[in-house]
Structure 1
Amino acid sequence: MPVIRILRRTSLPAPEAWRRLTDWERHGARVPLTRTMITTAPPTGVGTRFTARTGVTGVTFDDPMEVVLWHPPSDDAPGLVRLEKRGRVVRGWAEIEVRPLPTGGAEVRWREDIRIPALPRPLDPVVAAAGRRLFARVIDHLLRGGNGGAAARTGRRTG
């Protein structure tokens, strides 16, 4: 599976962008039929585990993840979090990097490798396109935080 890459810029300071992007329970708010459950005690850091459960009624699948790297940004230094996906249905990893910009605000770099072992390789481009669209929607929603307009698109997504 090719790595999905999404780039966003926001007027938010890097620490606030980080706080919003690592609010794991809010991730499920923009993924259809999904809710996210934290399975470890706060605060978030290395070892935090959570599960995104997708489906309706009795037809669901879990996407369990664990934080394996946790370096929050400051106003002048970048931050990076890495998640390992450890499910039977979805595997891979995700990284969220938040870099403060010298002119104010922050740049977000989201990288994700999704592997769905049950799907044949020829479907990788379809999975990658759907993933880019889905994760871009999640990022934009989290950065807006309900106050509208804090996230700004920059160029085309690659990956």
Structure 2
Amino acid sequence: MAQRRGLSGRAPRPGRRRGEVVFTARAAFRAEPGRVFEVLTDWPRQSAWVPATVVQRRGGAPGRPGERFAGVSRLGPFVLDDEMVVVSSTPPAPGREGRVRVRKVGAVLGGVVDLVVRPDGPGRARVEWTERILVRPRALALLVDLGGPVPALLGRAAFGAVLRAARPELEGRR
């Protein structure tokens, strides 16, 4: 079977689909896991931490499967409407991590987001934010593939910065 190649002549990275970017950002917080989970999954709150982006609720019960929201990012004349829907949500409880899975359902970005909040000792939590983004327009997917590891490195750095920006609110220092 011939290997798929794009206009660049490159095959997708092993284990990845054409135009797919996968990264994980991690951070630890001095806060109860329940609070961290509650704040991070109050999607419109993220508008304060994500540069040039406003997160809007678009339907469904907040924090429940079926909730719809979008991150609308603007950079000059360019607008990206990153539409998402909550697929599953389990808040943390004593002895149990919290997990939420979000599916990206927009015209430009598809994929899934997995957010895990783990207890990390008394009054402490660890966050693992993994995105598996699928860039849908063929031309943009080819650009992503040409970028090699750079899009994933940028994604991890950007979401690490988002988690750092959220720290004061997550730790109740705001």
TM (norm. structure 2) is 0.76
Matched, 1:126 2:145: no
| RMSD over aligned Cα atoms | 2.3
Matched, 1:25 2:47: no
Identical aligned pairs, as a percentage?
30
Which ranges of 4 or more aligned residues in structure 1 deviate by more than 3 Å?
56-59, 146-150
Amino acid at match of 1:133: A
Q: CA deviation at 1:125?
A: 2.0
Q: CA deviation at 1:122?
A: 1.7
Aligned to 2:106: 87
Matched, 1:97 2:121: no
Matched, 1:140 2:164: yes
Q: CA deviation at 1:103?
A: 4.3
Q: CA deviation at 1:54?
A: 1.2
Q: Structure 1's 146 and 10: CA in aligned 2 closer, same or farther, altered over 3 A?
A: closer
Aligned to 2:88: 69
Q: Structure 1's 49 and 124: CA in aligned 2 closer, same or farther, altered over 3 A?
A: farther
Q: Structure 1's 103 and 59: CA in aligned 2 closer, same or farther, altered over 3 A?
A: closer
| Partners of 2:92 and 2:135 in 1: CA distance | 31
**Which secondary structure state, in structure 2, belongs to the residue aligned with residue 145 of structure 1?**
helix
Q: CA deviation at 1:101?
A: 2.1
Aligned length: 150
Deviations 1:100-137 (A, max 9, x none): 12344111111111222323112252221221111111
| Partners of 1:75 and 1:146 in 2: CA distance | 19
Conserved 8 A contact 2:87-2:101: yes
Q: CA deviation at 1:8?
A: 1.3
Conserved 8 A contact 1:17-1:143: no
Q: Structure 1's 26 and 59: CA in aligned 2 closer, same or farther, altered over 3 A?
A: same
Q: Structure 1's 64 and 124: CA in aligned 2 closer, same or farther, altered over 3 A?
A: farther
Conserved 8 A contact 1:67-1:81: yes
| Partners of 2:23 and 2:151 in 1: CA distance | 10
Conserved 8 A contact 1:14-1:75: no
Q: CA deviation at 1:146?
A: 7.6
| Partners of 2:126 and 2:81 in 1: CA distance | 30
TM (norm. structure 1) is 0.82
Amino acid at match of 2:141: L
> Mind listing any 5+ residue stretches in structure 2 that lack a counterpart?
1-19
Q: CA deviation at 1:32?
A: 2.6
Amino acid at match of 1:116: V
**Which secondary structure state, in structure 2, belongs to the residue aligned with residue 74 of structure 1?**
coil
Q: CA deviation at 1:18?
A: 0.5
> Mind listing any 5+ residue stretches in structure 1 that lack a counterpart?
151-159
